[in-house]
Structure 1
């Protein structure tokens, strides 16, 4: 009776090392792409909010035209037909008032999900997510928003016939 030598199968140490090296190279090249996803998500959140603000501002403008208030440099408007002026407007669009403009038209969840402030004299509205700002709601100064490096700037209308300007700072998103 002749015994056949058993043949072992498996990977050699060199083959395993080569596979590990290849996986390492793939991980190094793919990791930056996956790591930037949170940055992309933050930018998308800002873009989405910017679009929502622009849409809401246009609706407020339509309401101000109906009420004949679109030519006033600064006034208030009743947006929910309850007889109480709810919102400060500038030439028909929401002003940059810290307490009585964008924050009033953005609806539920805004106070908890976003951080905002204005410049002295309400000439610009600053806005970032609460997670980036490290807090939520309205603040007297822009420090929390500016320190995020990822925010929206809302510049209200300053002349008849123009529209508000929305811009984005995304250096540290």
Structure 2
């Protein structure tokens, strides 16, 4: 005869109810944390733009100092030699880098500009748009402003328009 009282069954693991409770708790935690992580991403994009904007203005001021030394700060458009090699490096407008995509503000950007940024200019190079390559969907290339504007997260560089003026940076952060 088989005796059921002498045999003990050891059970290990989780019951279905315990697993469901854990999954619900993890879901609640994820729903609480997700908006904070999304907000951090947005804040990081804005910080990158502001950092780049500060670097652009700092570089523009350095170019202006060279323009003062060369005595061309009152000229509407000219080019100047930045490194003393006898070759004009950057186009300036009233002493500051112009908005030219080929010879202006893009010439003073850091070496990572080619791979990490997407940019555009208006016809006549009156304004320069700049966004990160990840937001603009392209890296290291000039594009029409549609890709930059579509990002909703970009910098506008407006060059100096008259003697004594300074360039300005505007930050568009609606969709960062």
Moved segments of 4+, more than 4 Å: 11-23
Structure 2 residue corresponding to 1:135, chosen from 131, 138, 149 = 138
Residue aligned with 2:138, SS: coil
Once the two structures are superposed, residues 121-156 of structure 1 have per-residue CA deviations (whole angstroms, 9 ceiling, x without a partner) of 111000011111111234252122111111100000
Contact 2:118 2:143 in 1 (8 A): no
Alignment of 1:1-173 (within 5 A): 21-173=24-176
Structure 2 length-normalised TM: 0.84
Count of residues in correspondence between the two structures: 170
Deviation at 1:79, TM superposition (A): 0.6
Does the C-alpha gap of structure 1 residues 136 and 17 become closer, same or farther in structure 2, counting only changes over 3 Å? Answer: closer
Once the two structures are superposed, residues 48-92 of structure 1 have per-residue CA deviations (whole angstroms, 9 ceiling, x without a partner) of 100100100000001100111111111111111110111000111
Superposed CA RMSD: 2.3
Does the C-alpha gap of structure 1 residues 29 and 90 become closer, same or farther in structure 2, counting only changes over 3 Å? Answer: same
Deviation at 1:23, TM superposition (A): 4.7
> Which runs of 5 or more residues in structure 2 are unaligned?
1-13
